[in-house]
Amino acid sequence: MAEDDSVPLTGKLREKLVESKEAWAREGRLLTGLQGDRVRDRLPPGQTLVKDWPVLDLGVQPDVAPDRWRLRVEGLVQAPVRLTLDEFMALPQTELTNDIHCVTQWSRYDNHWQGVLAKELVAMARPKEEARFVSFTSYDGYTTNVPLEEFTRDEVLLAHSWEGKPLTRQHGGPVRVVIPRLYFWKSPKWVTRIELLRDDRPGFWEVRGYHNFGDPWQEQRYG
């Protein structure tokens, strides 16, 4: 990350949390062995419906002041994009409602988001023909990955607001990714870099035993 993009960080990596979740992956914890149908079953197998929105992170929370936030869309693109928050907010805005599903077994229905469609950001960058995958980097150093075709689906958003209010720092503000078809670890908080790649690049949890794709209805918690 460029020097002028640095932001203050609080906390430290919760190594015991990471180790315990790696153990979950080795042991297959939380797996029910069931498979759902995303058309028929609103709640994926093994999930529990919640009303609140649990806060989950690695123990490090970046304090990204609005005037310091930058978003880069780069890699295998013809027109790299670099946006300030004001420039991001000036793009066409979309409101979407969707459900979210965390690999730790909670789901929350009917979340109302406002932000910029991912497919519109990708179109701005003009992907090269060989681009097939996306790698995300967040201000806390977190990374994850998805196929490009998943990132450009109609329901995928880079959100700045939830339930009519700006995203809080705890939930990834100023801007986070929202990919509702996949487990929520695939929707990184505090996103700052979106890199288009020819070859897949597994991220933080993917190299620690979690599934590379993460479909909740197929219960792809680990892989």
Q: Is residue 214 in a domain?
A: yes
Structural domain of 168: 3-218
Q: Is residue 44 in a domain?
A: yes
Predicted confidence band of residue 56 (pLDDT cuts 50, 70, 90):
confident
The CATH number of residue 123's host domain is: 3.90.420.10
Q: Is the pLDDT of residue 7 over 90?
A: no
Q: Write the pLDDT tens digit of every residue in 77-92.
A: 999 999 999 999 999 9
112 Cβ contact list (under 8 Å, min separation 6): 95, 96, 97, 162, 163, 164
Predicted confidence band of residue 1 (pLDDT cuts 50, 70, 90):
very low
Q: Is residue 117 in a domain?
A: yes
Q: Write the pLDDT tens digit of every residue in 153-209.
A: 999 999 999 999 999 999 999 999 999 999 999 999 999 999 999 999 999 999 999
Q: Is residue 47 in a domain?
A: yes
First to last CA, the chain: 30
pTM confidence score: 0.94
Predicted confidence band of residue 4 (pLDDT cuts 50, 70, 90):
low
The lowest-confidence range among 4-18, 48-62, 134-148, 172-186 is 4-18
**What is the number of domains present in the chain?**
1
Q: Is residue 223 in a domain?
A: no
The lowest-confidence range among 1-5, 11-15, 115-119 is 1-5
Predicted confidence band of residue 71 (pLDDT cuts 50, 70, 90):
very high
SS (H, E, C) the chain: CCHHHCCCEEECCCHHHHHHHHHHHHHCCCCCCCCCCCCCCCCCCCCEECCCCCCCCCCEEECCCCCCCEEEEEECECCCEEEEHHHHHCCCCEEEEEEEECCCCEEEEEEEEEEEEHHHHHHHHCECCCCCEEEEEECCCCEEEEEHHHHCCCCCEEEEEECCEECCHHHCCCCEEECCCCCHHHCCCCEEEEEEECCCCCCCCHHHCECCCCCHHHCCCEC
Q: Is residue 35 in a domain?
A: yes
Q: Is residue 156 in a domain?
A: yes
Q: Is residue 207 in a domain?
A: yes
